[in-house]
Structure 1
Amino acid sequence: MSRSAPLPPAHPPSSRIRVLSADAAVALIPDEAVVTVSSSSALGCPDAVLAALGRRFVDSGHPRALTTLHPIAAGDMYGVKGIDHIAQPGLLRRVLAGSFPSGPSSMASPAIWAMIAANTVAAYNVPSGILFDLHREAAAKRPGVLTKVGLDTFVDPARQGCAMNAVAAETPIVRKMPFEGDEWLFFPTITPTVAIIRATTADERGNLSYEHEGAYLGALDQALAVRNNGGLVIAQVKRLARGGSIRPFNVHVPGILVDCVVVAPDQMQTTQTVYDPGISGEVLRPDASFEGAGWGMETVIARRVSQELRHGDAVNLGFGISANVPRVLMEEGLHGAVTWVIEQGAVGGVPLLNFQFGCAANAEAIVPSPYQFTYFQGGGFDASLLSFMQVDRDGCVNVSRLAARPHVTAGAGGFVDITARARKIVFSGFFTAGAQFEINDGALRIVKEGKTRKFVPEVEHVSFSGRRAVANGQQIRYVTERCVIDLTPAGLMVVEIAPGIDLDRDVLAQSDTPLLVARDLRLMDAALFQPGRFGLRLKERSHG
């Protein structure tokens, strides 16, 4: 790393923190720094500091050749640019991210995707939990992360090794190695030298509190990794407070880890949300204030997914169709029967939809994301409800990349961490893309078949390994509008079809990979295909 701008020494806890403009703060970042950024899309994004970093490079050509680490994501395509502020050739040399900005194909591609496609930055899609683990290893000055998360997926060096383009493939970041008679993935430690984090309040000693935030994310772990390696920690906040005025139990990042503070009073709470006290847990929203699941084919799928749940389950929830399942339970009078857990850190409450996804209202607890990922990686929860873009003959799932539309997919985020040891996974999606339907008297009819088949011989990008799931005894189910499919040791097996669906014409003939058919093939409940309550009854947990 260049020594042209030496990093400041750690300040004693009794001193006042330096309050700088965003431009003055980023002037402290040297060439070739390894910069870690705490955010999840717009949630917690220190956008003012990232914007200043981009401006500095335009004006001066420095800092150059940065490596940036984004355990979840930085910015989006809906008003908070995040990483796109710094997506400039010469400024960025390498990017490791759990996710990247994404949006509909009608939008222009983010600048970072243009750099990835042009091979002007080495880009890696690293599972979010592993990226958080790497920060912990860097903080403790350990050699790296040894894990089974990602085996036989795009994370595995036998496939892409996390590399998103040719220039990244030239410098591997993960290798496969034996340990104690088994096969593991090893990620050598990457030591961050600058952290850009965000909070709500900083006091005069640099102590940070998060009262208006929707999540803690990984700010504490990122600051620890940088501080323990003599680096620079920049905190963007909404406001300043007198020293000592924040209760110690409310301080999430202590001032001994912070070098300077940038005040940005207009920072967004999350995507297209300036501030909602329900997101930060300062008020509890009435149950009636939440929109329902509505009516349509996505709701039908979410309804069928809800039938997989049990009373008392702790259930992870992903983006897409499955995000509607909490609304289904509310409409059925079963709100609170399961506890939702999402990767940004919320436990319980009501996970929010659309631009606010990743936040929850009325949460019971919000834990730092690194600990949530430890929970996921170890399989401590009961089930995960996720989406799919493609499924292949081995039950492998692609959610992370489509070559024809790269910027429409964000990458895997925490998907690989979550699915590695989940006891039960219910994937949901349409059987084909773009099909048109009619629902009459509890029966489904395909009016026009979709142009793109989602059940394929081989997925483009392996985000989830069906082979490892079978070997590990995981329970895997794929729920679509027209059928339900189980992953078995013999292959994909159709176990249910919707009323009105012809098995041969609408299912088997519309799959590009062979499907088995269960001997006791069942009909999906016709009540799923009728508006109004359908009489959901959750299964009871076994205590045997």
Structure 2
Amino acid sequence: MVTKLTADQAAQWIEDGQSVMLGGFIGSVVPEAIERAIGERFQQSGFPKDLTLVFAAGQGDGKSRAINHLAQQGLVKRAIGGHWGLVPKLQHLVVDNLIEGYNLPQGVISHLLRDSAAGKPGLFTKVGLGTFVDPRIEGGKLNSITSQDWVRLIEIDGEEYLFYKKLPIDVAILRGTTADENGNITMEDECLIVESLAAAQAATNNNGKVIVQVKQIVPAGTLDPHLVKIPGIFVDAVVVCEDVSEHMQTFATQMNPEFIGRGNKPSHNKILASHVEQTVEPVIDAKTIIARRAAMELKADSVLNLGIGAPEYIAKVAQQAGILDKFTLTVEPGAVGGSPASGLDFGASAFPDAIIGQDQMFDFYDGGGVDQAFLGLAQCDAKGDINVSRFGTKIAGCGGFINITQNAKEVYFCGTFTAKGLDVQVEGGQLQITTEGSQSKFISKVEQITFSAHQALKANKPVLYITERAVFRMVAQGIELIEVAPGIDVERDILHHMAFKPLISAELTTMDSAIFQPIFSLNLHSD
């Protein structure tokens, strides 16, 4: 029978110097009770110390939960993570050179867990070439005390690849819904699976321990084997969470049946069909303009990935146009189909068609399965490189951005033209900049390369940069201005706010006037 522990007892299992894999995505499938207990144990006793923390996705609420519990000087020696934006306390330790830190692509870490479980030396992939993860640039290292190389450049049959060495996992701390007495774990109330099985196997095959937080324990033999996501042979102990606030479905929602496909699924077109007259005119702000212009690129039957920020609005625009069921939305941690959620619910989808493992989703992504990817635009330079991962002392991390943008068939970067204070309005179909943003996004050189235009050009990948006032495309010489919003002066409103002069198309056109009308209709591309 599996060992049953309290959260405090589980914390006692963690030994000094161990490498600990933490499961979860933002607040989904996060073993919050165990992580809190480990942090409290260190505060009270000074143990465990010098841990290496491994996490694929960002796990936290931007304040104090999840990995933030463990972000204490002395407790952590090293952190290897995919997304850092929601763990500010851990960021501070890295920025202050108090711990070693690595930022590796989210999909790479997911796959490294699987490869480590299989006894392989590491992962060979093209993901990360030309970005800050490339050892010729930064090698994914986050500060000056991080000296060990985790990434190497190699050549196979005349082509460049990156080799990421394996992740030795001593303890995997994961979460499920139900355990039976033999340790078999089901996840029926969890909105994601992430890489839980791979992490459990990696720890087990390294002679390590696997601890799983659950809601309940049931008698052996009562679970449907098809529902078991982590077999009991990989589980050493379970912790039944007594506090429902530490076993929320996400950090924004205690329990939403829609995130696991329960309840009556409404038709997308019944939500708001394109032929139904809208009785309330929407506010046409910058993000709405960007989303409408981006939505005009949508193609029927495409598989999509939508990032955080402005791209989230694309699904809303498509929903309002009654076409959300004409393509399939995916989210990197594993949801296929449905309507992706936002904020601290991000990662979950309402009424998904399927929920697969994060490592499996990145198999699909890395193989070129995404037809169209719409992601954020934080900084862009003259080459067309994009930075979304680091801004001075703020470490956002790359998350799945590198996997997705490097391998999707078409890429669209969506964001406001300037930041911090931008305000626009539309009058008579004309865009007016009422307050200009104080921060330029189009700068001479990005602070960190999260998207490499050079690699995209080598792959002949179509790339657009969509803002509320201008649209650019990637060309061999850099970026080229191809569209301007009605009412916008190219010199005053665009070039004046760029640190470099882009190419200007000889066929420069005005953005479609339909974008700037109260009621927006949308026709999908058929190819």
TM range (shorter): over 0.9
- Show the counterpart of 1:166: 144
- Show the counterpart of 1:99: 83
Tell me how far apart the structure 2 counterparts of residues 76 and 333 of structure 1 sit (CA, whole Å).
33
Tell me how far apart the structure 1 counterparts of residues 222 and 288 of structure 2 sit (CA, whole Å).
48
Give the one of 82, 100, 109 matched to 1:131.
109
Give the C-alpha shift of residue 74 in structure 1.
Answer: 2.0
- Show the counterpart of 1:275: 255
Conserved? CA contact 1:135–1:225, under 8 Å: yes
- Show the counterpart of 1:440: 427
Q: Deviations over 1:342-393 (max 9, x none)?
A: 1011111101122211110011111100010111111112010101100011
1:476 equivalenced with 2:455 (yes/no): no
User: 1:321/1:133 Cα in 2 relative to 1: closer, same or farther (>3 Å)?
Assistant: same
Give the C-alpha shift of residue 285 in structure 1.
Answer: 4.5
Tell me how far apart the structure 2 counterparts of residues 86 and 388 of structure 1 sit (CA, whole Å).
31
Q: Deviations over 1:29-56 (max 9, x none)?
A: 2211111011111111111001111122
1:536 equivalenced with 2:514 (yes/no): no
Tell me how far apart the structure 2 counterparts of residues 289 and 215 of structure 1 sit (CA, whole Å).
25
- Show the counterpart of 2:177: 200
1:117 equivalenced with 2:95 (yes/no): yes
Tell me how far apart the structure 2 counterparts of residues 390 and 368 of structure 1 sit (CA, whole Å).
31
Q: Deviations over 1:434-480 (max 9, x none)?
A: 32222101110122322111111110010000111111101100000
1:254 equivalenced with 2:238 (yes/no): no
Mapping 1:380-419, distance limit 5 Å: 380-403=369-392, 406=394, 410-419=396-405
User: 1:285/1:356 Cα in 2 relative to 1: closer, same or farther (>3 Å)?
Assistant: farther
Conserved? CA contact 1:98–1:128, under 8 Å: yes
Conserved? CA contact 2:115–2:166, under 8 Å: yes
Give the C-alpha shift of residue 428 in structure 1.
Answer: 0.4
Aligned amino acid, residue 500 of structure 2? T
The answer to which of 196-205 and 292-301 deviates more is 292-301
1:486 equivalenced with 2:473 (yes/no): yes
Mapping 1:29-428, distance limit 5 Å: 29-77=14-62, 81-102=65-86, 110-168=88-146, 170-265=147-242, 266=244, 267-286=247-266, 287=268, 295-403=284-392, 406=394, 410-428=396-414
**TM-score, length basis structure 2:** 0.95
- Show the counterpart of 1:27: 12
Aligned amino acid, residue 327 of structure 1? K
Conserved? CA contact 2:26–2:346, under 8 Å: no
Tell me how far apart the structure 2 counterparts of residues 350 and 334 of structure 1 sit (CA, whole Å).
12
Local SS of the residue matching 2:398: coil
Tell me how far apart the structure 1 counterparts of residues 264 and 447 of structure 2 sit (CA, whole Å).
43
Q: Deviations over 1:148-205 (max 9, x none)?
A: 110111101111111111112x222112122222222111112101000001111111
- Show the counterpart of 2:450: 463
Local SS of the residue matching 2:58: coil
Conserved? CA contact 1:284–1:362, under 8 Å: no
Q: What is the aligned-residue RMSD (CA, Å)?
A: 1.7
Tell me how far apart the structure 1 counterparts of residues 369 and 427 of structure 2 sit (CA, whole Å).
41
Tell me how far apart the structure 1 counterparts of residues 414 and 144 of structure 2 sit (CA, whole Å).
32
Tell me how far apart the structure 2 counterparts of residues 450 and 58 of structure 1 sit (CA, whole Å).
43
Tell me how far apart the structure 2 counterparts of residues 155 and 110 of structure 1 sit (CA, whole Å).
21
Tell me how far apart the structure 2 counterparts of residues 241 and 70 of structure 1 sit (CA, whole Å).
29
Local SS of the residue matching 2:326: coil
Aligned amino acid, residue 401 of structure 2? F
Local SS of the residue matching 2:463: strand
Tell me how far apart the structure 2 counterparts of residues 123 and 262 of structure 1 sit (CA, whole Å).
29
Conserved? CA contact 2:105–2:402, under 8 Å: yes
Local SS of the residue matching 1:309: coil
Tell me how far apart the structure 1 counterparts of residues 56 and 371 of structure 2 sit (CA, whole Å).
24
Give the C-alpha shift of residue 86 in structure 1.
Answer: 1.0
Tell me how far apart the structure 2 counterparts of residues 77 and 455 of structure 1 sit (CA, whole Å).
27
User: 1:329/1:471 Cα in 2 relative to 1: closer, same or farther (>3 Å)?
Assistant: same
Local SS of the residue matching 1:113: helix
User: 1:44/1:523 Cα in 2 relative to 1: closer, same or farther (>3 Å)?
Assistant: same
The answer to which of 175-184 and 314-323 deviates more is 175-184
Conserved? CA contact 1:154–1:461, under 8 Å: yes
Conserved? CA contact 1:44–1:198, under 8 Å: yes
Local SS of the residue matching 1:279: helix
Tell me how far apart the structure 2 counterparts of residues 502 and 224 of structure 1 sit (CA, whole Å).
58
User: 1:306/1:88 Cα in 2 relative to 1: closer, same or farther (>3 Å)?
Assistant: same
Give the C-alpha shift of residue 295 in structure 1.
Answer: 4.0
Tell me how far apart the structure 1 counterparts of residues 491 and 283 of structure 2 sit (CA, whole Å).
31
Conserved? CA contact 1:284–1:361, under 8 Å: no
- Show the counterpart of 1:11: none
Local SS of the residue matching 2:297: coil
Give the C-alpha shift of residue 85 in structure 1.
Answer: 0.9
Tell me how far apart the structure 2 counterparts of residues 335 and 190 of structure 1 sit (CA, whole Å).
39
**Structure 1 segments unaligned to the other structure (5+ residues):** 1-15, 103-108
Q: How many residues are paired up?
A: 514
Conserved? CA contact 1:87–1:111, under 8 Å: yes
Conserved? CA contact 2:36–2:70, under 8 Å: yes
Conserved? CA contact 1:66–1:94, under 8 Å: yes
**Structure 2 segments unaligned to the other structure (5+ residues):** 273-277
- Show the counterpart of 1:3: none
Conserved? CA contact 2:284–2:425, under 8 Å: no
Tell me how far apart the structure 2 counterparts of residues 138 and 353 of structure 1 sit (CA, whole Å).
32
Tell me how far apart the structure 2 counterparts of residues 514 and 37 of structure 1 sit (CA, whole Å).
45
Give the C-alpha shift of residue 61 in structure 1.
Answer: 2.0
- Show the counterpart of 2:275: none
- Show the counterpart of 1:498: 485
Aligned amino acid, residue 280 of structure 1? I
Conserved? CA contact 1:76–1:101, under 8 Å: no
Q: Deviations over 1:118-162 (max 9, x none)?
A: 111111111011111111121111111111110111101111111
- Show the counterpart of 1:13: none
User: 1:333/1:514 Cα in 2 relative to 1: closer, same or farther (>3 Å)?
Assistant: same
Tell me how far apart the structure 1 counterparts of residues 13 and 427 of structure 2 sit (CA, whole Å).
65
